[in-house]
């Protein structure tokens, strides 16, 4: 048996799938976060659920803000729901990590 074949037998990949991520509360006002050092990540996200899942997967994430118009997801290491909301517009969804609920995770083994 060659080295490559032997190594491929030893490799096991674990993939975690999430059946359902829910959030119990949210606020629809954008926040003006002035301290950008608190931002963990920013990326394009087609749905609010995708944004929430990304926050759930990062232990340092304390809140997420999904901007529907762009669509953009911003993750923060602080609870931004306590910050002053912007006066104009309701195009954002702000979710606190404590409000994220996970229903059914499965761990699959891929060979």
Residue 5 in domain: no
**What total number of domains does the chain contain?**
1
Distances (CA, A) of 27 to 45, 63, 65: 18, 11, 9
CATH number for the domain including 81?
3.50.4.10
Using the Cα atoms of residue 81, residue 69, residue 39 and residue 33 in order, give the sign of their dihedral: negative
pLDDT score of 19: 52
Range of the domain at 42: 25-110
With a threshold of 0.75, does the pTM exceed it? Answer: no
The mean per-residue pLDDT over the stretch 33-39 comes to: 92
Domain for residue 93, yes or no? Answer: yes
- Strand pairing report for 39-44 and 100-110: unpaired
pLDDT tens digit sequence for 53-111: 999 999 999 999 999 999 999 999 999 988 888 876 678 999 999 988 876 554 333 33
- Better-predicted residue by pLDDT, 12 or 18: 18
Question: Please, are residues 20 and 103 in contact by the beta-carbon 8 Å criterion?
Answer: yes
Q: What is the pairing mode between strands 72-76 and 92-96? A: unpaired
Asked whether residue 60 is domain-assigned, the answer is yes
Instruction: Tell me, yes or no, whether 68 lies in a domain.
Output: yes
């Amino acid at each position: 048996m060659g080295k490559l074949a032997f190594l491929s037998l030893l490799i096991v990949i674990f993939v975690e799938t999430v059946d359902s991520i829910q959030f119990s509360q949210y606020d629809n006002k954008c926040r003006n976060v002035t301290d950008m050092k608190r931002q963990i990540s920013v990326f394009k996200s087609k749905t609010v659920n995708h944004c929430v899942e990304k926050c759930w997967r990062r232990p340092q994430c304390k809140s997420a803000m999904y901007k529907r118009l762009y669509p953009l997801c911003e993750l923060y290491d602080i609870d931004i729901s306590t910050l002053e909301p912007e006066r104009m517009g309701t195009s954002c969804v702000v979710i606190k990590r404590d409000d994220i609920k996970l229903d059914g995770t499965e761990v699959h083994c891929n060979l």
